[in-house]
Structure formats: structure tokens, C-alpha cells
A = this chain, B = another copy of it.
């Protein structure tokens, strides 16, 4: 009885996935602004009107792709953090879903710094592997498209990983709280109340800035601004990420709060 319904639902899920996969391909070729239901349908051997049974409109398909992309980069970040968190606990085989996460052996000089770096590199690796999906979520907004509420949860996953990382470091007394500029104090306190009430406002403010700057590095590399300028992007990125870690209070060695 439930078999039929189950089979139908399974088919629906498969077709939905096929549509999204094809749409992702087209994203690469034509960009989000020109993503077209008709072209997707054509490529799948369907007729355009059939797609409307799966996605009520072009924007709904776009929303699904955006949510998927945020989830993918969020998951990459989460598993990079998890991999760094338990370096010797379980025999984590490298063939996990995260695939290709940079080795983040807990360096004895600073486990939190190592994890910070691992998460940042995982985000960059994901971006390099999925440039068009990255552009979809971190590039210029798609004109005319208004992101529905559904996207805000997935969009915050990467940020949540960094907050969790700093929280852990803070509790273990591994964070050197940076000084808080007086001018910045009200906003820092407001952000801290919103994002992580248990962390010092100075850390939260520094983290938000570092978050934007981290993606600035990735975007410049991905969007071609580094062409003919930076060759060894990997090295420059890792160096800058280390500096960003410093800016939020993560020093290499355990440093008491001040």
C-alpha cells in the first residue's frame, strides 16, 4: 500500500534531483541570471511545462539551488571542524562525504588555530570546486530575485561554525580577547547579543569582520582579480587566514584572556 506511494515519492525525488543537477550545469554555462526552465527541460528530454510540477516558478528553482549551495559549503565547514576536533579519537576514513578536506592534523602549537585554518581552507576548497555555486551565493545578487526566508538558515551555517570554534577556544581559555574600540562598542554588543551572547563583544565584532574578509580573499581569487597578480594563491590564503585568526584572538599558543 505504501509501496506505490513510496515509489511515486522516490521517483519525484529523483526527477527533482535531476532537474537541479541539470540546472547546476547551466549555472556554469550561462549564469544565474539566465537560468531558464526551458533549457533545463530541453536538456532532460522533458517539455518545459512538465517542470512546473516540480518547481512552481523559475525563482523557486533558483531558491532550491541557493539553499543547496549554502548547505554544501556549510557542511564542508562543519566536517572540517569536526575532523580537526577529534584528531586521534576515531579512525576517520578520508573517504567521507566531505572529500578533499585539507589535512588538519592538530598542531601542538594551537589546536584552535589549526581548526580555524582547516575550516577556512575547507570553505575555499569547496568554492574552488564549485565556482558557479559559490558565485550564486556569494557573488552579485541575481537581479530581480528576492531571497525568501528559507535561505537565511542555511546561509548562516558557515558563520555558526566559526562562532562555535571561538566559543570552544574561549571556554578553554585559548582566546586572547582583543581590545574593543570605543566607537565600535555599541555595535559589537548588539552583534554579540544576536549571535553569541556568551562571547566577548570584541571577539564577535572581530569575527564578523574576519568572516567578510575571508570571503573577500576567496572571491578575488575566484572572480579573477588575482589574475596576473597572485600566483601562489594557496600560500597567500593560508597566510592571510592566519592573520585573521590573530585578529579574533586566536593565537598559536594558549594565551590567557586579558
Identify the A interface with B (CB < 8 A). 29-34, 135, 138-144, 147, 152, 155, 159, 181, 183-184, 186-187, 190-191, 194-195, 205, 208-209, 211-217, 219-221, 223-226, 228-232, 235-236, 238-240, 242-244, 247
Contacts and interface: CB of A to CB of B under 8 A. Distances in A.
Contacts of A187: 230-232, 235-236
Contacts of A211: 220
A208 B30 CA distance: 30
Contact of A213 (B33, B140, B217): B217
A195 B139 CA distance: 27
The A contact surface, by secondary structure, is: helix
Contact of A215 (B152, B220, B229): B220
A135 B140 contact: yes
Contacts of A186: 232
Contact of A184 (B217, B239, B244): B239
Contacts of A220: 211-212, 215-216
B141 A240 contact: no
B243 A225 contact: no
Contacts of A226: 212
26 contacts: A31-B140, A31-B144, A33-B33, A34-B143, A138-B219, A138-B223, A139-B139, A140-B223, A181-B239, A181-B242, A184-B235, A184-B236, A184-B239, A187-B232, A190-B231, A191-B229, A205-B239, A209-B236, A211-B220, A212-B216, A213-B213, A213-B240, A215-B219, A216-B220, A219-B219, A243-B247
B143 A30 contact: yes
A138 B186 CA distance: 31
Contact of A195 (B152, B229, B242): B229
Closest 3 CB pairs of A and B: A216-B216, A139-B140, A31-B143
Nearest to A30: B143
